[in-house]
Amino acid sequence: MRWNRPIGLCLGLLSLSLHAGPRATPSPEEGPRGTQALGKTVPLLPAFRSAVARIVAADGRTLAAAVWVGPDGYLLTKASEIPELEKARVQWSGDRTAALREIRRLPALDLVLAQAVGVKEVAYTDFSQGLPLPSYGQWLASPTLGGSEIRIGVISAQPRAIPGLGPAMGIRMDEKPIKQGVRLLSIAEDSPAAAAGMEPGDILTRVAQQPAKDVKTVHEIIRRHQPGDLVTLSYLRDGESKTARVRLASRTRIMMNWDGEDFANGGISIRTDDFPSIIQHDLPLGVQDMGSPLYDLEGRAIGINIARVDRVTTFALPATVFWSKIQPLIEADRHPTQALLPP
């Protein structure tokens, strides 16, 4: 069976057993693990599988989730997890795959709009309803990346903006100037610099093709980028010139996890802050589930999961924040000639 209609419309069944107002306390049978809830979710599994796809690297690694936003293959995913999207593929419905064409990145939202090449009929999620932001305690649901499970939880804080401290590599540098560049004193565990193979004692000579004159200069170069950006480093190790590509992360992520403590119990997203508005919830999702759709228990699509912050905290972007920007981009891409006509 083909699911060629908005997925949000398929979820109304879930509200028959779980719909509750803010701060409502369900009975054991009606809770997220109760028999009524589990029984009602079974008929929705085909629709959930259709709602979410996965972005995979050339070597088959899963990079992030994606949500279909148009029947002709348009999708949204988390930009910072996929800095080179056109080198990846989208996978859905088991083993179906397609190449990707990047349309537009929205750095302020950490989203990227793309289209699966040659895909004509997919089920898609309808974000156009313009729903108000949900309130503290409201129940929510989201499919996992594989689509085989429905995760249920509640909004755990009031919707709000999340300020950012900018990007970082996860390095501490020696303030003492040296002729060659800047010497690294330490490397944060599980940081972009560590992933790129940087070591204490390395001497940075260039960052993003610019000379690493001193610590201040390195900071200024990094601040011009966004978490998720790929930056090329040139450095010396034991007198030998080397290069590395580093994918920057949120400074808050690195500082909270400098010593490598697994406080997130499963990892946290590359970018975790600098969002204009978020829905904070406690659904048990993983880093690779970011980019998946988020629904209320009346079956309406209300947002996209955008950042796993710690073990019990996930941020989602409300549809009211991004859809008014995404929809015109899709229409302009579908009808490029019309987009060029004067108003």
The pLDDT of residue 14 is 36
- The residue with greater pLDDT, 242 or 151, is 242
- Mean per-residue pLDDT, 197-205: 96
Helix H or strand E encompassing 100: strand 96-106
Beta carbons within 10 angstroms of residue 329's beta carbon: 15
d(CA 326, CA 279): 19
pLDDT in tens, 83-98: 999 999 999 987 899 9
The pLDDT of residue 151 is 87
Following DSSP, what letter does each residue of 168-196 receive, concatenated?
Answer: E-SEEE--S--SSSEEEEEE-TTSHHHHT
Please tell me the pTM assigned to this model. 0.82
**Residue 15 identity:** S
d(CA 235, CA 19): 57
Residue 176 has pLDDT above 60, yes or no: yes
- In which band, very low, low, confident or very high, does the pLDDT at 5 lie, cut at 50, 70 and 90? very low
Beta carbons within 10 angstroms of residue 136's beta carbon: 13
Beta carbons within 10 angstroms of residue 335's beta carbon: 11
pLDDT in tens, 8-61: 434 333 332 333 344 455 555 555 445 454 555 555 556 666 789 999 999 999
Residue 240 has pLDDT above 90, yes or no: yes
d(CA 246, CA 208): 10
d(CA 315, CA 310): 10
The pLDDT of residue 111 is 98
CB 235 within 8 A of CB 202: yes
CB 73 within 8 A of CB 122: yes
CB 294 within 8 A of CB 132: no
Write down all domains in the chain, each with its CATH number in brackets.
Answer: 7-161+274-340 (2.40.10.120), 167-254 (2.30.42.10)
